[in-house]
Amino acid sequence: MGCAQGSQSKPATPKSAQTGSSGKSSKVQEMRLLEEYSVGQTLGEGAFGVVSNCRKRSTGEEFAVKMVDKVETPVDAIKKEAEMMQAMDHPNIVKVHGVFYERCFVCIVMDKFSGGDLVEGLQRHLKERGQILCQDVVHVARQMGASIQYLHLRNTVHRDIKGDNYLMDRKDMTDPKCRIVLTDFGTACTARPEERLSAGVGTKIFWAPEFFDRDYGAKVDVWAMGIIMYGLVSGRFPFRDENDIRTKEVKVPKRVHPVCEEFIKRMLDKVEKSRPSSDLVMTHQWVQETGGRHDPFNQTSTDEAVTGHDLREEVVNDGVKERRQELIHRLNREHQIKDSTQRGGRRAPGASGHYLHKTFVLNDKQIPGMKLTYEWWDGAKAKSTGLLEPEGRVKPASHFEAGQEGNDLKMFSRMLEEHNIDVTQFGRGQAKKLEGLAAEVLFGAARLMLDATSHKKL
């Protein structure tokens, strides 16, 4: 497992900085993420990659770093997202402080928000305090609308507006001072007001009817905001699939204020031309003024209990999580070794000493608490043991022909097939038999490696 791409890491800088006459800009371009920031615990994961806590070394300020995996997302697309985010300047859109191009990740440093996303906030409220009163999230609706309006004024369509992509500065979204910001611009694109788009991107449960027709405009963001608002006041999605989205009538819980109900239904108008623009959303009575936090329309609820657990669609594969964490570990390890060299050979705390000592100890990744001791050998000693000669350490293929060994061969064959390898080609003509390869892998004469630039490629 590893990355084939070996380019040096450079932060993206504005054109003005790149063309400056001083030597400062060239120095900035050569900086790597871990030279400016220390990376801490993981804050969250999604289809895009990993978000971790980070601290600026020079000031101690805390930020978040979004580490987008180059294997899972084309580099050009990541660069486009990073540049688009850097160009944004709005209180309800996350602020980017720097972009770094590492071997395996593009790292986007941004403001850190400790409240989690809107889905987490809703689930927390439902668990601890029950249903959210619609008057208690007017400020949330206003900020969502403002972020979308800002994008549309800049001829930008987000195309993946959802609760997961709005972060909060505190855990209680009903706090009137709660600030939310829109993040994750991986699907965003520029489009003129009358331009029609066709790409099927984003999260389908938030798609407007015209999205399924692959003929849509900026109002798909307004529809998605309507889905979020419905979820906040009801704890569930209004629709389950394309048929629902196209045909099902929107029914808002009776306890919801009638002005709020009309606000949500207008955003979820199935006829695109009748749906309000983001400008009209911001002029709606519900976000302009409200009956107050203690309006009698919103004091009781006869709705069934809900948890909000079905409001998050994406689940990250455990194997993908493990691979990402391994790559982050390597990134940190490389910096620690480099830093120790720059300090005159003194190893930084926690840094690997693999090539600095004859022997070294590593934790066993498979057995908790187990430590493995390794020793460096020169070529002569390694050759004298016979370990470099496959004949001297590989048992014959017949070792796999019966009993438990037969089961091992079946598992080995199934693993190859899962990685799109045709096992029927083994043993044909001059090709080695499958049993022979399995024996070599089992006893260390051969090694299977994953190509990190392709999905499931051995």
Listed residue (183, 112, 120) closest to 147, CA to CA: 183
Secondary structure (H, E, C), 179-246: CEEECCCCCCEECCCCCCECCCCCCHHHCCHHHHCCCECCHHHHHHHHHHHHHHHHCCCCCCCHHHHH
Q: Which two tokens stand for residue 430?
A: 């001059």
d(CA 253, CA 245): 18
CA distances from 450 to 327, 383, 411, 455 (A): 13, 28, 17, 9
Half-sphere exposure of 29 (CA within 13 A, CB side): 14
Of the candidates 100, 215, 116, 222, which has an alpha carbon nearest to the alpha carbon of residue 172? 116
Instruction: Please give the backbone phi and psi of residue 452, each rounded to the nearest 5 degrees, phi first.
Output: -70, -10
CA–CA gap between residue 282 and residue 148 (Å, rounded):
10
What contacts 100, CB < 8 A, 6 or more positions away? 9, 10, 11, 31, 32, 33, 36, 106, 107, 109
342 contacts: CB under 8 Å, gap ≥ 6? none
Q: Is 395 annotated as a binding residue?
A: no
Beta bridge partners of 197: 216
Whether residue 16 contacts residue 28, with contact meaning beta carbons closer than 8 Å, is answered with no
Angstrom distance (rounded) from CA 253 to CA 217: 29
The DSSP 8-state label assigned to residue 259 in this structure reads H
CA atoms within 13 A on the CB side of 239: 24
Eight-state DSSP code of residue 274: G
Q: Is the dihedral of CA 121, 122, 123, 125 positive or negative?
A: positive
Binding-site residue ranges for ATP: 66
Binding-site residue ranges: 66
